[in-house]
Amino acid sequence: MKNLTFSILLLLGAIIFISSCKDDANDTDDSSTESSTPIAAFDEFNPDAVTISFDGDEITIESNGLPNHTSPYWAETEPLYIDPVVATRLTPGGIGSRSLTVTVPSAPEIAATSTATGLGPIGISVTGVPIFNDQEGDNRPIEEMIVETFDYAGAHNGPSGYHYHVESSDVPENTILSHDDEKLVGIMADGFLIYGRKCNSTGDHPTNLDVSGGHSSSTQHSANDKFYHYHIINEFYLGNIIALFAVDLQGTPNSIM
């Protein structure tokens, strides 16, 4: 009888152990992802420049393109104007109001094939300023002469207005923009969010990014829910600058008008 009781206890212990192992495996399973864009992320956008509208399974982002940070590209009469602290020369023109609009799905999906970005806006940043790729013109990648025109925000002025190309500089004037951290940078034309070089889920540079700097993990905006998003890729593009987005979009791009 004692032997029978002992055997039953051993069996029960084995069942509990196996069940516990299965629970542990489920807790660390990276294959389960949440694809919906966390609504909390939109609280990071500059309310003076950006309007967010939710309609069913679509999100519309509208911006006037006016950032909430200082720059030498502001007119000298504007309160956010500062003398250049990074740029050694400026492109003609300055920061002015315009209209930018993009409508993206609230639950964007990775497309069957990636899409190369073109000239012009490929995303809208949290400040309301459009994000551009690593090209300054047709088949003309960013070069040293262009880098000289970037302010500390990684932006300059062009025919279509003030826009970002590269990660912001680590200078005292930079109190808003991401620099080698986990801050939200903005949203890309395919509806996926883009964060700084570090990931909130680990507190460090992620090591499991795809070719576009994307992966599925939780962020500061999603609690423990995982969803696909981009990061600024932690690689120098030219000299000591890092491009915001110099790769293909993994989702289906929408026009930023």
pLDDT at 16: 35
First to last CA, the chain: 81
Taking the CA atoms of residue 110, residue 112, residue 116 and residue 121 in that order, the dihedral angle to the nearest 10 degrees is -40
User: Which residues 6+ apart lie within 8 Å of 229 measured at CB?
Assistant: 192, 193, 194, 195, 214, 215, 216, 217, 219
Phi-psi region of 213 (alpha: psi -120 to 50; beta: other; left: phi over 0): left
pLDDT tens-digit series, residues 59-94 = 999 999 999 999 999 999 999 999 999 999 999 999
pLDDT, one tens digit per residue, over 138-177 is: 778 888 899 999 999 999 999 999 999 999 999 999 999 9
pTM for the whole thing? 0.86
Angle (CA) 35 38 39, round 5°: 140
| Core vs surface per residue 233-251: b (16+ CB within 10 A) or e | bbeebeeebbbbbbbbbbb
Contact 210, 232 (CB under 8 A): no
**Range from 133-142, 153-162, 237-246 carrying the lowest mean pLDDT:** 133-142
pLDDT for residue 138: 73
